[in-house]
Amino acid sequence: MTKQLIISVSDIPIGAKKRFEVGGNNVTVYHLQDGWFALDDTCTHKGASLSEGQIIDGEMIECPWHGARFDIKTGEVKSLPAVHGLKTYQVVIEGEEVSVEIDDDCCKDKETPDGCCGGQCGCDL
Ligand code: FES
């Protein structure tokens, strides 16, 4: 099932980020010079909240616990100790409205490194 987060463009200034809880998912929405992006908030290393980290060079988020860095546009790991990337979500801007599609189809088995069962639960990956 897909859930939708809707906020206003005025909620997050350029260069800032904000965490939201949507249907059990913690998602951080970033407003960069290059646009809007949304990623899982939980660091794939040991679970820190990335919304408490620093935005580096306007394109990476640095984990506040051990310093892993992730590309905000792609979720890709840019530096250790994390080795798994972050899930990204589609962001659509319409006028003053920012909507984020939260795909909730997976069981979100927390035993796996990236928070996804890989289809083993029978979910629609
Ligand atoms: S919890 Fe993020 S780098 Fe360790």
Q: Which domains does the chain have, with CATH numbers?
A: 2-103 (2.102.10.10)
Would you state the pLDDT for residue 96?
A: 94
pLDDT in tens, the chain (125 residues): 677 889 999 999 999 999 999 877 899 999 999 999 999 999 999 999 999 999 999 999 999 999 999 999 999 999 999 999 999 999 999 999 999 988 765 555 545 555 555 555 555 54
Would you state the pLDDT for residue 111?
A: 54
Q: 3-state DSSP call for residue 5? A: strand
Q: Which ligand 1 atom minimizes the distance to the CA of 46?
A: 1
- Cα 97 to ligand 1 centroid, rounded to whole Å: 32
DSSP letters of 17-76?
Answer: EEEEEETTEEEEEEEETTEEEEEESB-TTT--BGGGSEEETTTEEE-TTT--EEETTT--
- Cα 96 to ligand 1 centroid, rounded to whole Å: 34
Q: Is 80 in the pocket of ligand 1 (CB under 6 A)?
A: no
The single residue listed with the structure tokens 């620093």 is 54
Q: Is 68 in the pocket of ligand 1 (CB under 6 A)?
A: yes
Would you state the pLDDT for residue 4?
A: 83
The model carries a pTM of 0.82
